[in-house]
Amino acid sequence: MATFFGEVLSVYSRAVEEDDEDLDENEEDEQIRRELEEKREVQLHWSPEISESLKSGNKLQCSDFVLAVGHNAARFLSVYVLSSVGWDAVGHASLWNERNQAGQTGVEAACVFYRQKDNPSVLICQVTCYIAEDQLFQWTEKVFDCVQHRQLNVTVLSDSSVADFKSADYLCCSSAPFLRSLHTAAFSAAPACRALEQPNIMTGLPAAVLNHCEVHRIAAVVYQCYSDVIGPDSVTMETFKPALTELGKSIQLDSSPSTDVLRKFVRNTNIQSNLYI
């Protein structure tokens, strides 16, 4: 190449090197993406007996699957159902995301599966950890892939803030806590409460489970409890009782749990003022 002063310079094209640099960056980005996906993968850990059965190609024979999402829903099952000695912990799910950091204590125990001793076809799952949007599908797929779908009934109990409830009737929200429901087309029983009014929607794990059940024609119903209390609350917990009425033959509710059991699972929230301490 000649310059303005007539000097001839030997030059080389940078096209190949730039392409190589872009290729290296793309490979590095792809590796980081793969490592992140592996880190965010949902892992199911079952008891040795169930693990061996699943490895043999068998699925959990389940007639009723009750899923509790949120602290009040999970504590409701702990107080009114799991407080009896008739349940065994048979597995748990572990996952990592921006809210469930690695090494955080109690993350694995925040998604636990229980099975009834006298009736192993009844399965309960309590979820109190955060499940990110990109993990909802794989959690649902992996869990339901372990459970037989024939004659399966799914009941989901879910927490929600009354501030998220949209209604033209403002007096409705003053009666919190209250239940609303959504169900799949395969669900033939009468729900225990009113249907969720438009334009309200369900999100998170309850929505993912309901969508999965609708696609696979599984009878499922979601009961969402709208409460004005942020922390665990005995009144909010008791609101879920009608939701399990239809399961009376499979799950026996403790109608009057002891004070010690309630005290164990209900945490008093101390409200501190910003002006006075």
pLDDT tens for 37-77 read 888 899 999 999 999 999 999 999 999 999 999 999 999 99
In a domain, 99, yes or no: yes
Q: Does residue 14 carry a pLDDT above 70?
A: no
In a domain, 150, yes or no: yes
Q: Does residue 5 carry a pLDDT above 80?
A: no
Domain range spanning residue 254? 60-265
In a domain, 237, yes or no: yes
pLDDT > 70: what percent of the chain? Answer: 77
In a domain, 69, yes or no: yes
Mean pLDDT in residue range 87-114:
76
pLDDT of residue 269: 42
In a domain, 193, yes or no: yes
| Residue 273 CB-density burial (10 A; 0-12 exposed, 13-18 middle, 19+ buried) | exposed
Q: Does residue 177 carry a pLDDT above 70?
A: yes
Token duo for residue 39:
């880190």
Question: Which has more pLDDT, 182 or 253?
Answer: 182
Q: Does residue 147 carry a pLDDT above 90?
A: yes
In a domain, 187, yes or no: yes
Written as one string, the DSSP assignment of 8-69 is B------HHHHHHHHHHHHHHHHHHHHHHHHHT--EEEE-HHHHHHHHTT--B--SEEEEEE
Most confident of 77-91, 100-114, 184-198, 240-254: 184-198
Mean pLDDT in residue range 264-274:
50
Q: Does residue 170 carry a pLDDT above 70?
A: no
Question: What backbone torsions phi and psi does residue 98 show, to the nearest 5 degrees?
Answer: -65, -20
225 by DSSP, 3-state: which? strand
Mean pLDDT (the chain, rounded):
83
Question: Any idea what the CATH number is for the domain that residue 75 is in?
Answer: 3.40.50.10900
Question: Which has more pLDDT, 152 or 34?
Answer: 152
pLDDT of residue 229: 85
- pTM of the entire predicted model: 0.81
Model confidence at 254, pLDDT cuts 50, 70, 90, reads confident
* Domain total of the chain: 1
In a domain, 4, yes or no: no
Model confidence at 99, pLDDT cuts 50, 70, 90, reads confident
In a domain, 55, yes or no: no
Q: Say which amino acid occupies 130.
A: Y
